[in-house]
Amino acid sequence: MSRRVGTALVAVAALVVLAAVSWNVLRTPGGLLGSAERCTVTVDGRTVDLAPEQAENAGLITALAVERGLPARAASIALATAYQESDLYNIDYGDRDSVGLFQQRPSQGWGSVEQIMDPVYSTTAFYDALVEVSGYESMEITVAAQEVQRSAFPDAYADHEADARAIASALTGNSPGAFSCVVDADVDAGDAALLDTGLTERADQVRRELLGVFGELQLGGFAPGGVREGHMEGSTHYDGRAVDVFFRPINARTNVQGWAVAHYLAAHAARLQVQTIIFDDRIWTARRSDQGWRDYDAPNGPGDPDILAHRDHVHVDVFE
């Protein structure tokens, strides 16, 4: 079985131990010690709340399935597994020598501890094993998960099926606007200097990460030395703080792809200092993140109305 090593895109959270506070309180869905930052998925009447770290890991797990061209079912299986094994936290401990999101064991050939603690590596290893399971696409989630994990508690994965399906449906883009996060918009100023790409360091980090996670994407809205025209007055593109991700032609398939990217950006908005995401005539902003995705008031003017409404591209910009 191959073990493709990826660059870790999600930092391992430091575990704070306080004598007067129990572990269960520390790991509340709202985040560490009840932080206001949180993420929510709502699909077909089912709502799932996630702490920021859980959302980042769920976003990565799902994005890697999308990048490989796997069905949403694969992401559901992976998410249900990680839920059961680690509660979607990248933990450095577990039963015997188990570590990481999927509690993979170095002694069972999953790789070194350092490799398994890389969420990209561990997720890739999980999918490498899953695709070798004949007919996993039509199996019950708990059966497919057990084929990969060989757990001593095979029925436990079933407890997380419904939540995993809802998260996978949103993060694969099949449920538009169903995933959003509340973030702290009080962000320190970054370096305004433009890199060779014509982007600030923060915006270029977004560019690099999207390519690293989703593979080939059609990107635009920036140029070496900066862009000088083609956008509305006051656009963050002129500051090198914005990237456009194009999904053309406009159809049902590219709409799903676009929402997968838009939701991934929402899941990682706090870490990446994302200020605005616009797609498919909907907008999410950090400063109004408690309102989730809102209808986008597209500017009036000449041009293709679908382009003005961002139906053909995801716009993402970062704070100054």
Amino acid 152: pLDDT:
67
- The structure's pTM equals 0.88
Q: Which two tokens stand for residue 126?
A: 């999980």
Q: Which amino acid is at 125?
A: A
Considering only 3-12, 174-183, 207-216, 273-282, which range has the smallest mean pLDDT?
A: 3-12
Q: What is the pLDDT of residues 26-43, one digit of tens each?
A: 343 334 444 589 999 999
Amino acid 299: pLDDT:
84
Q: Which amino acid is at 20?
A: A
CB atoms inside a 10 Å sphere around CB 157: 24
Structurally, the chain folds into a number of domains equal to 2
Give φ, ψ of 285 to 5 degrees. -130, 145
Is residue 13 in a domain? Answer: no
Q: Contact 255/280 with Cβ under 8 angstroms?
A: yes
Is residue 134 in a domain? Answer: yes
Is residue 183 in a domain? Answer: no
Q: Residue 40: is it exposed, middle or buried by C-beta count within 10 angstroms (0-12/13-18/19+)?
A: middle
Whether residue 289 sits in one domain with residue 231? yes
Instruction: Report the C-alpha gap between 123 and 170 in whole angstroms.
Output: 19
Is residue 52 scored above 70 in pLDDT?
yes
Whether residue 246 sits in one domain with residue 293? yes
Mean of per-residue pLDDT scores for the chain = 89
Amino acid 34: pLDDT:
44
Of 35 and 121, more confident: 121
Q: What is the pLDDT of residues 98-115, one digit of tens each?
A: 999 999 999 999 999 999
Is residue 147 in a domain? Answer: yes
Q: What is the mean pLDDT of residues 293-300?
A: 92
Q: What is the pLDDT of residues 249-282, one digit of tens each?
A: 999 999 999 999 999 999 999 999 999 999 999 9
Amino acid 35: pLDDT:
55
Is residue 17 scored above 80 in pLDDT?
no
Last residue of a domain, one of 138, 172, 206: 172
Expressed as residue numbers, the domain containing 304 is 189-318
Whether residue 165 sits in one domain with residue 27? yes
Q: Contact 125/99 with Cβ under 8 angstroms?
A: no
What is the SS3 string spanning 151-175? Answer: CCCHHHHHHHHHHHHHHHHHHCCCC
Is residue 6 in a domain? Answer: no
Whether residue 210 sits in one domain with residue 161? no
Amino acid 31: pLDDT:
40
The strand ranges marked E within the chain are 38-43, 46-50, 179-182, 218-220, 242-246, 274-279, 282-285, 294-295, 313-318
Q: Contact 219/243 with Cβ under 8 angstroms?
A: yes
CB atoms inside a 10 Å sphere around CB 288: 12
Is residue 232 scored above 90 in pLDDT?
no
Q: What is the mean pLDDT of residues 282-298?
A: 97
Percent of the chain with pLDDT strictly greater than 70: 89
Instruction: Report the C-alpha gap between 85 and 79 in whole angstroms.
Output: 10
Rg (CA), the chain: 20
Our measurement of the distance from residue 266's CA atom to the centroid of its chain's CA atoms, rounded to an integer in Å, reads 7
Q: Which amino acid is at 278?
A: I
CB atoms inside a 10 Å sphere around CB 94: 15
Amino acid 302: pLDDT:
74
